[in-house]
Amino acid sequence: MPKSHRIEEAVGEVLEAQAALGAIPVQVVVELGRTRLTIKQLMELAEGSIVELDGLAGEPMDMLIDGRKIAEGEVLVANGKLGIRLTNTVAPGARRAVLK
């Protein structure tokens, strides 16, 4: 088989693999902030309790996959649901590294 046909075959296989990987769902977490509570404070939480977080209103929120930051953005409401408008993302190569 000529070299050009082998290259075309290899490229086709890579594209098929990318398409298959693109269909795999991953869990995405948007972190609003963190805090530390004592066990006593945790046990006292009840409906209506307010837990203050270290994130400030208006600060960018982190988007995480597998505990690794892939983007940050602003919280917004879209169609009655919370969403995030991305303002900064890590490079695509770094995002692929998160999925490995």
Annotated domain spans of the chain: 27-98
Q: Exposed, middle or buried by CB within 10 Å (0-12, 13-18, 19+), for 63?
A: buried
Give tens-digit pLDDT for 31-65.
Answer: 778 899 999 999 999 999 988 888 777 788 888 88
Q: Which fold has domain 27-98?
A: Surface presentation of antigens (SPOA) (2.30.330)
Other C-beta atoms lying within 10 Å of the C-beta of residue 73: 17
pLDDT at 64: 86
Report whether 51 contacts 45 (CB < 8 A).
Answer: yes
pLDDT at 88: 92
pLDDT at 60: 86
Report the C-alpha gap between 86 and 89 in whole angstroms.
7
Question: Band of the pLDDT at 17, cuts 50, 70, 90?
Answer: confident
Other C-beta atoms lying within 10 Å of the C-beta of residue 70: 21
